[in-house]
Amino acid sequence: MSFLTVIIFCATIFCVQSVTYNINSSTTNWQTILSNLKAGDIVTIHHGTYVTPGFFQLTLNGTLNNPIIIQGAPNETRPIIQGPVAGANAQNVINIQGSNFMVKGIAFTKGSRGVRLGPAVTSNAIFDNIYIFNTTGTAFSANDNANEYANITLQNSEITNTNALAATTGECVYVGCVSDECRIRDSLFQHNYCHDTLGSVGGSRAGFQIKPGSYNVIIRNNVCYNVVGPCIIVYDGYDRGRNLIDGNLAVNAGTADIGIQCTSGATITNNIVINSNLAGIGVIVNSLYPNVSYTRNITINQNTVYMSQADACLRLNSVTNKNITILNNVFYCGNQPSIKASNDLTGARIYNNATNGSISATGISSCGTFAVSSNAFLNAAATNFYPASSSLLINKGVNLRYQAFYDYNGMPRSIVTPTVGAYEYSTTNNPGCPVINNFKCASSTASVPQYPLTP
Ligand SMILES: *[C@@H]1O[C@H](CO)[C@@H](O)[C@H](O)[C@H]1NC(C)=O
Ligand SMILES: *[C@@H]1O[C@H](CO)[C@@H](O)[C@H](O)[C@H]1NC(C)=O
Ligand SMILES: *[C@@H]1O[C@H](CO)[C@@H](O)[C@H](O)[C@H]1NC(C)=O
Ligand SMILES: *[C@@H]1O[C@H](CO)[C@@H](O)[C@H](O)[C@H]1NC(C)=O
Ligand SMILES: *[C@@H]1O[C@H](CO)[C@@H](O)[C@H](O)[C@H]1NC(C)=O
Ligand SMILES: *[C@@H]1O[C@H](CO)[C@@H](O)[C@H](O)[C@H]1NC(C)=O
Ligand SMILES: *[C@@H]1O[C@H](CO)[C@@H](O)[C@H](O)[C@H]1NC(C)=O
Ligand SMILES: *[C@@H]1O[C@H](CO)[C@@H](O)[C@H](O)[C@H]1NC(C)=O
Ligand SMILES: *[C@@H]1O[C@H](CO)[C@@H](O)[C@H](O)[C@H]1NC(C)=O
Ligand SMILES: CC(=O)N[C@H]1CO[C@H](CO)[C@@H](O)[C@@H]1O
């Protein structure tokens, strides 16, 4: 080993001085501690309420091998970081920028936005088990112009009442910018619970909003309940890589909008969407990449959509068969159309979809759909959409190359004849998580499917 190598080895391994800090409610300099963290530092914040003076910017410069960790004390109620005031002129509770850090087990409240990533570009960050409540605006955002946010994870986190103090768009999550002016990529939003944001007005008022040009973003195993706008909305991925929407549950979301909405570059699998106001799932021409200006690269496979208040289970606007596949879904809409399309669908790949309700679209081949009654489900009235033992859904799917290999519960699917809808039939009763208004599988710590997904 050369002398130079030894020095570099020392520099990378031994010369990082990690410090462990404990913050409690009598720690007066807690903001100074948080503002001066170095790579490898770990801060434990004990239960209590920590009020900021207003503007509070953190820069966390961790390294891949020595991330910075800020965590609530294990086994204590989460500490609360609170903006001093609320309402229209409040500051965000906290702005965080940097890379290679983790924020875990902390609550944020009041202020304007909850957590804003920025204003500088931010990457390799994990937010785990956080709780953002009673803010004046969007709970979690990453939308400063010209930034490309990469490798951001938000998981096991609860967000609620994002317009407690003034009527705002109040998204649970808003990442990326309009017209690709900033974007997020290679990121993960999983097992979060976004609920009761009914005060949202203006904008899209969404649960999880991933703006145009963002790509390789996975949004999985989240639950939305009582959200005005779409539970999940993605726009055009600019053909950089698809965004994946898998295994989510949307109940009463949007109460005035679509349940899950995309424009281009999206794979939508294994989701359950109940009682949206407009379409359960919608492909809507919205913010297309100007150079191509058409909708493309969408797969909608193995979803269960149950009822729409005012439109259809599946709404296709200006879909003209640019690599669009729709198969193995249940579109159960009763008195509303199961499928409604503004364009003729001749040539689009539409197979094996179970429908209840009229079809308001032309060009779907006769083998594209088959009708089912409510007895296809174990107990639709009790929101149990697992297939009944005699269900017409069982073994009625097809395996194309966009096969989802697992179901809503993470159970393996038949490769040859999967069950149509979000659940694969394997036993007489649902072996997985019921549909409830809570985190998927009932708690932030419940284990949920973690399988790899292919776009
Ligand atoms: C709170 O932290 C301070 C240091 O900031 C320490 O001196 C004190 O003992 C701690 N109190 C408790 C109850 O842990
Ligand atoms: C973080 O890194 C940036 C860029 O190197 C530097 O300007 C800033 O002072 C650093 N901040 C902290 C708190 O380490
Ligand atoms: C937290 O509680 C769990 C279960 O009671 C226990 O196993 C664990 O050791 C506790 N952790 C700490 C840091 O006290
Ligand atoms: C993404 O970020 C996490 C957490 O900081 C890190 O462990 C992981 O190595 C990063 N991945 C890449 C590809 O940089
Ligand atoms: C949050 O807001 C709700 C509704 O406005 C209110 O009932 C609740 O008490 C608030 N919680 C806290 C801790 O302020
Ligand atoms: C997209 O269109 C703009 C303006 O017409 C052009 O400058 C740019 O090179 C185009 N990008 C690609 C990838 O074709
Ligand atoms: C998207 O579709 C276009 C043609 O419709 C194709 O050229 C392109 O490769 C596709 N991209 C992805 C990521 O599938
Ligand atoms: C269609 O999309 C799939 C999946 O992204 C991709 O592999 C394929 O190249 C696309 N085909 C066309 C014709 O665009
Ligand atoms: C839709 O389901 C209802 C309730 O089970 C049933 O009465 C009706 O016949 C079904 N409609 C179609 C077109 O299958
Ligand atoms: C091409 C195709 O997918 N055909 C299937 C459509 O759905 C019916 C009912 O499940 C099947 O019998 C067809 O094989």
| 323 touches ligand 8 (CB under 6 Å) | yes
Is pLDDT at 13 greater than 60 in this prediction? no
Q: Do 180 and 130 have their domain in common?
A: no
Which residue's CA is the nearest one to ligand 4's atom 2?
124
Residue 454's pLDDT is 55
Contact 339, 359 (CB under 8 A): yes
Using the mean position of ligand 6's atoms as its centre, give its distance from the Cα of residue 263 in Å: 19
Q: How confident is the model at residue 5 (pLDDT cuts 50, 70, 90)?
A: very low
User: With contact defined as beta carbons under 8 Å apart, do 133 and 109 qualify?
Assistant: yes
Q: What's the pLDDT tens digit per position in 177-229?
A: 999 999 999 999 999 999 999 988 888 899 999 999 999 999 999 999 999 99
In which domain, by residue range, is 113 found? 18-136
For residues 171 and 129, membership in a common domain is answered with no
pTM of the model as a whole: 0.92
Residues 296 and 381 grouped into a single domain: yes
CB 197 near ligand 5, within 6 Å: no
pLDDT digits (tens, 9 = 90+) for 116-172: 999 999 999 999 999 999 999 999 999 999 999 999 999 999 999 998 888 888 999
Residue 12 dihedral angles phi and psi, to the nearest 5°: -85, -30
Give the count of alpha carbons within 13 A of 441, CB side only: 17
Q: Is residue 128 part of a domain?
A: yes
Res 12: pLDDT: 52
Over residues 215-247, the pLDDT tens digits come to: 999 999 999 999 999 999 999 999 999 999 999
Residue at 1 is within a domain: no
For atom 7 of ligand 9, which residue has the closest CA?
A: 373
* Nearest-atom index, ligand 1, CA of 27: 5
Same domain, 277 and 346: yes
Give a yes or no: residue 228 inside a domain.
Answer: yes
Whose CA is closest to atom 14 on ligand 1?
24
Q: How far apart are CA 246 and CA 28, in angstroms?
A: 44
- 129 and 217: one domain? no
Name residue 348's amino acid: A
Counting ligands in written order, which one lies closest to the CA of residue 372?
9
Q: Based on the domain organization, do 57 and 197 belong to the same domain?
A: no
3-state secondary structure of 110: strand
| Count: domains in the chain | 2
- For residue 354, give the ligand nearest its CA: 10
- Average pLDDT (83-102) is 90
Residues contacting residue 401 through CB under 8 Å, at least 6 positions apart: none
Compute the average pLDDT of residues 359-375: 87
Nearest Cα residue to 314 out of 350, 286, 265, 264: 350
Point out the domain boundary residue: 86, 120, 136. Answer: 136
Q: Is the pLDDT of residue 401 over 80?
A: no
Q: Which of 124, 127, 186, 190 to mutate to test the pocket of ligand 4 (most atoms within 8 A of CB)?
A: 124
What pLDDT was estimated at residue 16? 65
Q: What is the pLDDT of residues 261-275, one digit of tens each?
A: 999 999 999 999 999
Q: Decide if 25 is inside a domain.
A: yes
Which range has the worst mean pLDDT, 12-16, 230-234, 240-244, 448-452? 12-16
Torsion angles phi and psi, residue 198, rounded to 5: -70, -10
Mutate to test the pocket of ligand 2, among 57, 59, 122 (most ligand atoms within 8 A of CB): 59
Residues 175, 50 share a domain: no
Ligand number nearest to the C-alpha of 324 = 8
Has residue 8 been placed in a domain?
A: no
Ligand at minimal distance from the CA of 74 is 3
Q: Quick check: 386 pLDDT over 70?
A: yes
The answer to the question of residue 10 being in a domain is: no
Please name the helix (run of DSSP H) or strand (run of DSSP E) that holds residue 107, with its range, or none.
strand 107-111
CB of residue 164 inside a 6 A radius of ligand 5: yes
- 307 and 367: one domain? yes
Same domain, 193 and 119: no
| Residue 375: both structure tokens together | 């007895």
Instruction: Tell whether 119 is covered by a domain.
Output: yes
Residues 62 and 185 in one domain: no
**Shared-domain flag, residues 112 and 197:** no
Ligand 1 centre distance from Cα of residue 24 (Å): 6
| 227 C-alpha to ligand 5 centroid (Å) | 17
| Listed residues 136, 157, 181: the one ending a domain | 136
Ligand 5 center to residue 134 CA distance, Å?
Answer: 6
Side-chain-facing half-sphere of 351: CA atoms under 13 Å:
16
Mean pLDDT along residues 283-308: 93
| Calpha distance 89→255 (Å, rounded) | 28
CA distance 249 to 439: 9
Q: Is the pLDDT of residue 10 over 70?
A: no
For residues 285 and 426, membership in a common domain is answered with yes
Relative to the CA of 242, which ligand 8 atom is closest? 5
Give the Å distance between the CA of 372 and the centre of ligand 9.
6
In a domain, 109, yes or no: yes
96 pLDDT band, cuts 50/70/90, is very high
